[in-house]
Amino acid sequence: MKIVYFLFFIFYSATSYSHDCILKGTSAEEITIYNSCKANQSIQKPAHSDLNKSLHKVQIKKLVKENQNLRNQLLDVKIRLNAVMGIINSYID
Read off the pLDDT of residues 7-61 as tens digits, 9 standing for 90 and up.
666 665 554 555 678 888 888 888 888 888 888 876 665 556 667 788 889 999 9
Give the torsion through C-alpha atoms of 27, 30, 35, 40, to 10 deg: 170
**Given pLDDT bands bounded at 50, 70 and 90, which one contains residue 74?**
very high
Q: What residue ranges in the chain does DSSP mark as E strands?
A: none
User: What Å distances lie between residue 90 and 9, 35, 79, CA to CA?
Assistant: 82, 71, 17
User: pTM for this structure?
Assistant: 0.44
User: What Å distances lie between residue 69 and 55, 65, 66, CA to CA?
Assistant: 21, 6, 5
pLDDT at 24: 83
Domain edges within the chain = 1-44, 47-93
Which amino acid, one-letter code, is at 56?
Answer: H
